[in-house]
Chains A and B, each alone.
Chain A
Amino acid sequence: MKLAGTVWKFPQADINTGLIRKQMYNHLPPQEQGKHCLESLDPEFSSRAKPGDFIVAGTNFGCGSSTPAHYSILALGIPAVIAESFGPLFFSNCAGGGLWPIVCPGILQLVETGDTLEIDTGSFVVRNVGTGKTLQAQPLPEIYRAMIEAGGEKPYLKTRLARERQAQT
């Protein structure tokens, strides 16, 4: 599968989950958290980002609290975050939520805000569509890839349970 989208770049290292979505909005319905996404770093981001856009981030993006800050990204219709590296809890939160967390060392040099980026979710090659330059991102473990392709934990579990129940009969 190939995804293509416009890049929003947040190059700072160690953007923690509280900066992605403040804890004070944790109680809001997930769909309403989008308007607060990354507001501490760019107050206009949530109103300007469009469904299908990508976030490109620096080192240790989503470090800190295990709070489901990825809701705010999903609510904007953003399907993927491509980062130099991720906070481990945010990384697995994304997979469970059906949001692609792509680890791609060198991504900050590959694209700028406004560029179009293409991601091949089979080979994990990412390409700056404008310059044609590519990078090999780290492949996701199979279980996470299956989960995200299914659309998150619930559809993944549905398929898995159906398979396991069938095997028992």
Chain B
Amino acid sequence: MKVAIFRWKAIVPLLLFLAALVGAWLLFADRLGRLALERGGTAALGARVAVRSFHFSFGGGSVTVRGLVAGSPFDSMQNLLEADELTADLDLLPLLEKKVSIDRLAANGLRFGTARTTSGFVPSSGPSASAQIMANVKSWAAQPALQVPILQLATGKLSVDSLDPRKLQTVQAAESLAARADSSRRAWTAAFDSLDATTTADSAVAFARRLQGARPTDLALLRDARRMVDRIKQTRDRLAALERGVKAGGATLDQGLASLQIARRRDYDFARSLVRLPPIDATSIAWVLFGPEAVGKFQRALYYTQLGRTYMPPGLLPRAHDGPTRARRQGATVEFPRAHQPPGFLLRDAELSFFLGGDSAGPRRYAGRLQGLTSAPALYGRPTTLEVRAPTVTADGMFDHVHATSRDVMGATVRGIALPAIALPGLPLRVTPGRGDVSLGFALYGDSLRGRWTVSAPAATWQRDSGAAGGLAADLLWRVVSGIENLDLTAELGGTLSHPELHVRSNLDQAVSERLHSMIGAEVDAAESRLRVEVDRIADQQVAPLKAQAAQLTAEANARVQQGRKALDAAQQQVEQQIRRLTGGIRLP
């Protein structure tokens, strides 16, 4: 029995089934497109993406998306962006290869950082690329080099160390001078004793008495008289030399006493150093106050850059990503880019129209252009570029993943716009910069980082949360900053991904430091005065007796010199008088 291979009567039901399938697809294409966009966007961004309506026009080859809302991966109650309408002109043929090629995209009504009413975070359903990147970025920001210390401004009281007399230079110098004075006393006493001018004078007087009974012919006695006169003169010369030594020694002691004043001034400085101020490091204040905000800015920039590197990788090697969500296992979907073929996704040119700011005049509209956004930069051959030019807004971005080493650079400057408030970490304070200028630059070359965030706000206002204590540091800081209107802030990032360096400075640094110093200045003055009196008391105990000792020593030495000189003069006069009597005034040879 021959069995037929085909079941011809099933053709009609099969065609009907296929027609129903196509009809259902056409009927639900918009809904399926919306779901695909929401699921794909959510998975790629790592935050909830919602679309109000999605329309795919086969005839026009266009897609219109309205009410696109993309949550922020960093703030559950904030949106990364909202778009009123996105209109994309599609190439239809690449769709047969499951490739999306958009010639032109018009994005209207873009808004950034708008508030949400529900959380934009999505529960993690396993290891995804965005979750992995977020974990890596959080790990990067948790490095010690980017951790901000807890604010400790003048929270400790003024401390004064005890004054140790042994460490005072005045005391040490006085002890040294006293030793030198004793030494001088001993030396001079020994010199006077060895000179013995009184004995010489007494001998001369006794010799003069012998001459009273002598005759002029006693020539030997006359020679002895001459020798006695010479001896008296020699003794006087030695006494004069000793007198010069005493004067020099006295001058040295006077110099030593004068140097005690210098030592005392040093002791005053030493005593001042014992007054320990509370720790106030001006350079760390900006780091403590604005460091977390700066790290947050750079962390976001790094996240989106890494996201771009993940979905826009360089090279043409096969690359795997998570498969579609379904009841069965997701698996991995592997892309196989091929040279000279269109990439899986390409957005050639996008015109962006967006709103910024929200002051009394309402948000202002700006325009920009995004070009060359693709999933395979090596196939497209050119970097992705972003450009916004307006009188008050300038933004540029260049994401070059064409070559093996990716280079990502972006920067934006906005002038005269209402800047969002900045909360100070760990303190019940926040600053609202008001209208001002802000700029953010970020570059990632390979793993080398460069970043700069600046804020310039001439009319900043400070708010303190009511009911929050905050402690002494908050009180001090509030008293200081509440009077400062101008805010200039600069944060600079450098280094590499594994070894980042962050420097933050602001005009608050010096202001806070000076204000805190002035607030504790009176207390410092009182402490320094007390220490000065103590230094004087200890020094005077040593110096006053030393001065008296030096004066007494010099006076005694001078008195002995005068006394010796007087005795010698009298003795010489008597001897010479007897010689003249014996010789009758004739000068003998």
Do A and B form a real pair?
no
Report B's interface with A, CB cutoff 8 A.
Answer: none
